[in-house]
Amino acid sequence: VGQDNANYLLSLIRTIPGFPKEGINFRDFMPVLADAKGLSILIDALAKALPVSVDDFDAIAGLESRGFLIGAPLAVRLGKGFVAIRKAGKLPPPTKRMEYSLEYGTAAIEIEDEAIRPGERVLVVDDLIATGGTAVAAQKLIEGHGAVVAGFSFVMELTGIPTPDAIERCRRSSLLTMP
Ligand code: PRP
Ligand code: ADE
């Protein structure tokens, strides 16, 4: 990212202790998006810090909802299509579903059967990786279609929480790391 840009992004990220439950330090990147310079730095930095070459993936998948906010502009920037992996019950059938746990609860995500073709290479984009539960669920959905996860692009990575082996084995980039 470059230290100046990293510091600029960090200055905009808000930390809310105890949200959405006791013991969680919630990292809110919405103020980055609200700031014209911050948003531009963010999308530029994600494009520059890709975990794989731009030729090594076919599509970008964003994880609802914060992953949508960066996945779609990044896809435009890189000339790729965008696939939405949504919270369960939002996408019309036929879909595949995966249940998982995350830092502050449990959830289920879905993908439309037609959204990804077998053999496609997908870059998964999200704002933050904490336990990695969401990322692993997305990987399973994509692999369930016979497609492959080319890599993961995150804005933030929380340290001090072990990353699942399935994610450690993948190429990934995180712009910012924080406790
Ligand atoms: C947040 C975040 C990641 C996930 C990370 O999403 O945007 O998707 O949690 O947590 P994990 O690594 O422990 O799985 P959330 O489910 O809160 O949804 P939102 O983006 O709609 O706010
Ligand atoms: N998703 C999971 N853990 C989170 C955290 N600490 N802040 C923001 N989003 C999260």
Residue nearest to atom 4 of ligand 2 (CA): 26
pLDDT-based confidence at 69, cuts 50/70/90? very high
Interatomic CA distance for residues 106 and 142, integer angstroms: 19
Percent of the chain with pLDDT over 70: 100
**Whether the CB of 137 sits within 6 Å of ligand 1:** no
Q: Give the span between the Cα atoms of 33 and 37, in whole angstroms.
A: 9
Tell me the pLDDT band of 166, cut-offs 50, 70 and 90: very high
pLDDT at site 121: 98
Give φ, ψ of 109 to 5 degrees.
-120, 160
CATH topology of domain 52-178: Rossmann fold (3.40.50)
User: What is the pLDDT averaged over residues 36-46?
Assistant: 98
- What's the pLDDT at 170? 98
Atom of ligand 2 nearest to the CA of 25: 6
Give the pLDDT score at 135: 98
The per-residue pLDDT for 16 is: 98
Kindly state the average pLDDT of the residues 3-9: 97
Question: Which residue type, as a one-letter code, is found at position 126?
Answer: D
* Ligand having the closest approach to the CA of 24: 2
Residues with a catalytic annotation lie at 66, 103
Q: What confidence score (pLDDT) does residue 29 get?
A: 98
Cβ–Cβ < 8 Å for 142, 83: no
Give 136's pLDDT tier (boundaries 50, 70, 90): very high
Q: Which position has the token pair 């609200």?
A: 34
Q: Does the beta carbon of 107 lie inside 6 Å of ligand 1?
A: yes
Q: For ligand 1, atom 18, name the residue with the nearest CA.
A: 65
Nearest CA to ligand 1 atom 1: 128
Cβ of 27 closer than 6 Å to ligand 1, yes or no, is no
Q: What confidence score (pLDDT) does residue 76 get?
A: 98
Distance (Å, whole) CA 105 – CA 76: 32
Which pLDDT value is given to residue 164?
97
Task: Give the model's confidence band at 95: pLDDT under 50 very low, under 70 low, under 90 confident, else very high.
Answer: very high
CA dist., res. 62 & res. 126, Å (int): 6
Q: What angle do CA 174, 15, 163 make, to 5 degrees?
A: 35
Supply the pLDDT for residue 153.
Answer: 98
Q: Which atom of ligand 1 is nearest to the CA of 134?
A: 14
Give the model's pLDDT for residue 38.
98
CA distances from 103 to 134, 137, 158 (A): 9, 14, 11
